[in-house]
Amino acid sequence: MRILKRKKGGETFLYLQHSFRKDGKVVTKEKYLGKKVPENISEIKAELIEFEKKEIYRKLEKIKENFQKDWKKTPNSAKEKELNEIAIAFTYNTNAIEGSTITLEEVREIVEEQTSPNKPLRDVKETESHFKVFLNMLNSKEKFSDRLLLNWHKEIFGETKKDIAGKYRNYLVRVGNYIAPMPKEIEERMKRLIDFLNNYKLNAVEVSARTHYRFEKIHPFGDGNGRIGRLIMNKILWDAGYPMLIIEYKNRKSYYKALTKDEDKFVNYFLRRYFSVNKKRLK
């Protein structure tokens, strides 16, 4: 978005211009501002962005519609197998991002054959527990609450991080150069986030992105915030009828970089990934 200057009859007039993609083509919208930037420039910017948001929402609804059509035609046995494969892929990638040494094939061995690879016991236990939590999440329509998130955390880390499992942190943490909120702020911030989750009016994919960003900034747990955050993000999508999104280990650098930016920039990153993964569902 930019402000353009155009001269006419010796005078300079200002226009606000915003460009975005629609059906593979660049669409440009302009709004006349006058001879100087008006005080309500932020409202005018929001009005132009609304054009783009409507197109984004239309595409997201198309993805949902096509996903649901395919899913309804899928036999129950095939659905179960597909969800199992998603759970394996999700468990591998989300744990690998956080430093787990378990490979994709080792995840499969752990959850399908109950065999333990020659890897740290902590990684094996967290892999097994995360897989179970993920599948249970898909089969439950439980509303978001502190209890739900704390239970997820306890189930995943109860055997490996007993001192912090299932409870919000009571100490200060730093993530790179970012200092997370003080412990006394966590309860209120999580209350606001959960209220947002259970009463949102935006598109669910956008809510998924905004919630993930806000949760990671609150960083309510002593460890495991990324894994819980990505579970939340996919529960939002699944409960709303959208295909889920796996943040792949190979893309972790761009993911981490996006989390260091402001919320709107992270949402843009998230939407780009979502459209890229689901491009076939837009046809």
The H-assigned helical ranges of 158-281 are 183-198, 204-218, 225-239, 252-259, 263-277
Distance (Å, whole) CA 271 – CA 268 = 5
Burial class (CB in 10 A: 0-12, 13-18, 19+), 195: exposed
Residue tagged 């970089």 (tokens): 257
Cα distances (Å, whole numbers) of residue 195 to 147, 188, 264, 281: 14, 11, 20, 31
- Where do runs of H (alpha helix) occur along 37-75? 41-73
167-176 in b/e burial notation, b at 16+ Cβ within 10 A? Answer: ebbeeebeee
* CB 213 within 8 Å of CB 257: no
Q: Are 137 and 156 in contact (CB under 8 A)?
A: no
* Cα–Cα distance list, 36 to 15, 18, 121, 186 (Å): 10, 18, 65, 44
With vertex at residue 279, the alpha carbon angle to CA 276 and CA 283, rounded to the nearest 5 degrees, is 165
* CB atoms near residue 52 (< 10 Å): 17
219 is catalytic: yes
Catalytic-labelled residue, pool 18, 130, 153, 219: 219
DSSP 8-state assignment for residue 211? H
Q: Which residues are catalytic?
A: 219
